[in-house]
Amino acid sequence: MKNRKYFEPIHARIEIIPMIDIMMFLLVFFMVVTLRMIAGSGIKLDLPHMLSAQDLNPPFKLTVSVRRDGALFVDQQQVSGAALTGRLQAMHTLHPQIEVIIAADESALHKNVMTAMDAVRLAGIDAVGIAAQQDTAAP
């Protein structure tokens, strides 16, 4: 007599719990990546308008925000000019190809923007850009 348990077909099962875990992981991952892609999120700035503004896609980009009252922000944390230089030097050692974007409010004083730019240059970073909104209408 034959033993039937060796000849019974094996039915494949799809486990749903691991699939839910993977979907939750992907959801959290894409939320975090999307939040990191928003430059200067959380800092309210009125950027100046420019006809020749264009998007930059550097390997590693850091945004320094300058509010109208002269406050400097990096990653939504307020820093002084000297602390900004130190922080940028640390970032430059980790990412030698770093590019810094200075996003200044359109009513920020020129000297405050120059303070941010000077801090970037003192940190040894040569790739500096100024953020602006692209304007489609001629002034």
Q: Indicate if the pLDDT at residue 1 is higher than 60.
A: no
> Cα dihedral sign for 36, 62, 136, 106?
positive
10: Cβ–Cβ under 8 A, 6 or more apart, which residues?
Answer: none
pLDDT digits (tens, 9 = 90+) for 54-105: 665 656 778 888 888 888 988 788 888 788 888 888 888 888 888 888 888 8
Q: What is the mean pLDDT of the chain?
A: 78
Give the three-class secondary structure for 129: strand
For residue 105, the model assigns a pLDDT of 86
Q: What is the mean pLDDT of residues 3-11?
A: 68
Contacts of residue 11, Cβ cutoff 8 Å, sequence gap at least 6: none
CATH class of 49-134: alpha beta
Give me the pLDDT at residue 99, please: 85
> CA nearest 121: which of 64, 46, 79?
64
Can you tell me the distance from the alpha carbon of 16 to that of 117, in angstroms, rounded to the nearest whole number? 53
Per DSSP, helices labelled H in 38-122 are 81-94, 110-122
What confidence tier does 23 reach under pLDDT thresholds 50, 70, 90?
A: very high
Domain boundaries, the chain: 4-37, 49-134
User: Quick one: pLDDT band at residue 24, thresholds 50, 70, 90?
Assistant: very high
- Decide: 112 and 69 in contact? Cβ < 8 Å: no
Over residues 99-122, the pLDDT tens digits come to 888 888 888 888 888 888 888 888
CB burial class (10 A; 0-12, 13-18, 19+) of residue 125? buried
Q: Check pLDDT > 70 for residue 7.
A: no
8 Å CB contact between 109 and 70: yes
